[in-house]
Chain A
Amino acid sequence: MIEIQEVTKSYDGNAVVDRVSLTLPAGGLTSIIGPNGAGKSTLLSIVSRLMPMDRGKVLVDGLDVNDTAGDVLARRLSIMRQDNHITARLSVRDLVAFGRYPYSKGRLTADDVEHIDRSIAYLGLEPFANRFLDQLSGGQRQRAFIAMVLCQDTDYMLFDEPLNNLDIKHAVETMKLLRRLADDFAKTVVVVLHDINFASAYSDRIVAMQGGRLAFEGAPQDVIVPSRLQAIFDVDCRVHAVGQTRLVNYFE
């Protein structure tokens, strides 16, 4: 369980995340949606202790992220960020292998190698495993970073806009993969998404943020409602039920 308590973060007096309190139960897939500048990525960075908070507290399974040893937390929670700029010339395999660092501190065991192979295979990266990252397309690189998170094999996996740069096929595959992580491996997956329809179709829970605050939270059918979407995104839209899924039409 991730407990976010009264978390605040501001730059020059402007609160980017403003007294957000939120509890994410273990298991399932939670999407965080909201317009640009709503504080989604900042919140994710604070939860994963990449960014210090000004006030408040975050507990992951009861561990305070501010004072838990880095490697203890790294075996429990992993994050994939949006901008992954790396100076070093790494092959896909090298990168994925870094996911085992919290466990083996760079000395790979047979168990680690197995994890690495499985993660690479899971994302269909075998043909590129020995290529350098700068020789891959944006989508392939994105998948390599997802494979690294997979390899870290933590109970909680956070993804900051993992669908960036992906074409439809790979976006759908990625969301299905995240879904499988939650269903088959009982991972707790938290994803920041821009596409409301992806959020609606694949989430167990949706958290909507606006202006640094928590706007709505609940199951897709509770959040994917025209009046609420209008309040969050300031766009007129209609919601159609197609089978089990509620799809948002904001084009007309």
Chain B
Amino acid sequence: MRADVKRISPSAVLIVSAALAVASMVAFMTVGAKGSWSFLLSFRGTKLLGMVLVAYAIAVSTVLFQTISGNRILTPSIIGFDAMYALLQTIMVFFLGAAGMTTTDPRLQFTLETAAMVGFSLLLFRALFSGASRSLHLLMLVGIILGGLFRSLSSFLQRILDPNDFIVLQDRLFASFNSVDADLLGIAAVATLAVTFVLWRLSPTFDVLSLGREAAIGLGVDHQRVVNLLLVLIAILVSVSTALVGPVTFFGLLVASLAWQLTPTASHRFVLPVAVSIAITTLVGGQVILERLFSFNTALSIVIEFFGGLVFIFLLVRGSAR
């Protein structure tokens, strides 16, 4: 069906989506701006930086996860990566208590949680990508069951938590693009930059990885090493986005599906930046519209989850496990 459509050049798609992303960022900074610029810059600038980081982290981690898992339905969140992060947070609040949490440096907490994330994700998800059985259904079932397990463990711990501690925890776990955790911005940005640097070095292998394990090995890629490394980087990116705004399940799927569909090539050189641009446009642009046009503030995550969920159901019903 796509053969008949005249092919648009990938660069054109990239330029348009990047322009939209820049436009939404400019709109976010300027629309309805009143008062001193120094205040606006620091107030809106912090929020903007947070949203851009989250958009980047979710888009890149989802696209690469889909590349190494060889399917277009699973995302780190659907398979339980961010449920794992929520569980780690719950465990920390459980053992440290609200007082302990507030006195510990949030950057130290972030580092600890990210380290634990990396360890756990390697332990749990590695086997699914390297083994002989690369069944999509197995991957999905294991992921969903593990996600369920993490969520139940979290809610069990939350039930027996001191009510004061629980409020602190709930504040952290509720996805909100409006209250980006400013203390974490610095370290999150550094972590993202570091991840980006390593990804840049690995980038020639991405397209080859999408051919599947055997073809990648046949072309000389050290599949096991690269996939392990990518899982670590994905775990760090998921930690960044979850730490900043909380868990969002379907946003990554929405963004990645749009990027694969809109980009007329499967080359990651185009798909990755297009996905990031779409994520920024959706997040920042959506926030502008909700804040300025509808002047209600908290619902962006709900709107995004709603549309993301619809995309997920559509992909499942279409039945193409691609």
Contacts and interface: CB of A to CB of B under 8 A. Distances in A.
A70 B221 contact: yes
A90 interface: yes
A152 B215 CA distance: 12
A45 B213 CA distance: 12
Contacts, number: 73
Interface stretch (A75-83, A169-177, A206-214, A238-246): A75-83
A86 B211 contact: yes
Interface centre among B208, B214, B265, B267 (most CB of A within 10 A): B214
Interface centre among B3, B218, B267, B322 (most CB of A within 10 A): B218
B204 A105 contact: yes
A202 interface: no
A89 B219 contact: no
Interface string B3-36: 1000000000000000000000000000000000
A25 interface: no
Interface stretch (A94-102, A180-188, A221-229): A94-102
B222 interface: yes
Contact-residue size bin, chain B (C-beta under 8 Å from the other chain): 20 to 34
Contacts of A75: 220
A74 interface: yes
Contacts of B207: 88, 98, 106
A96 to B, nearest CB: 12
B265 A94 contact: yes
B217 A50 contact: yes
A131 interface: yes
Contacts of A71: 220-221
B131 to A, nearest CB: 12
A105 B214 CA distance: 17
Mostly, the B contact residues are loop
B199 to A, nearest CB: 14
B204 A106 contact: yes
A98 B217 contact: no
A152 B204 CA distance: 17
Given A70-B217, A94-B266, A132 B2 contact: yes
Contact of B3 (A70, A102, A107, A132): A132
A155 to B, nearest CB: 15
Interface in A86-119: 86-90, 94, 98-99, 101-102, 105-107
B212 interface: yes
B47 interface: no
Contacts of B266: 88-90, 94
B70 interface: yes
Contacts of B221: 70-71, 101
A174 to B, nearest CB: 19
B135 interface: no
A135 interface: yes
B71 interface: yes
B210 interface: yes
B72 interface: yes
Contacts of B2: 89, 132
Contact of B219 (A45, A72, A81, A98): A98
Contacts of B208: 98, 101, 106
Interface residues of A, number: 33
A203 interface: no
Given A86-B210, A87-B70, A74 B204 contact: no
A135 B4 CA distance: 11
Contact of A70 (B210, B215, B220): B220
B222 A70 contact: yes
Contacts of A50: 213-214, 217-218
A98 B220 contact: no
Interface centre among A78, A98, A99 (most CB of B within 10 A): A98
Contact of A101 (B3, B210, B213, B219): B219
Contacts of B222: 70
B274 to A, nearest CB: 14
Interface in B240-292: 260, 265-267
Contacts of A84: 212, 215
A81 B217 CA distance: 12
B212 A85 contact: yes
Interface of B: 2-3, 70-72, 204, 207-208, 210-215, 217-222, 260, 265-267, 322
18 contacts: A45-B214, A48-B218, A70-B220, A71-B220, A73-B220, A74-B218, A79-B218, A81-B215, A81-B218, A84-B212, A86-B210, A87-B212, A88-B207, A89-B266, A98-B219, A106-B208, A131-B3, A152-B219
Interface of A: 45, 48-50, 69-75, 78-79, 81, 84-90, 94, 98-99, 101-102, 105-107, 131-132, 135, 152
Given A81-B215, A88-B207, A98-B215, 9 more contacts: A50-B214, A71-B220, A74-B220, A75-B220, A79-B214, A81-B218, A86-B211, A87-B71, A101-B220
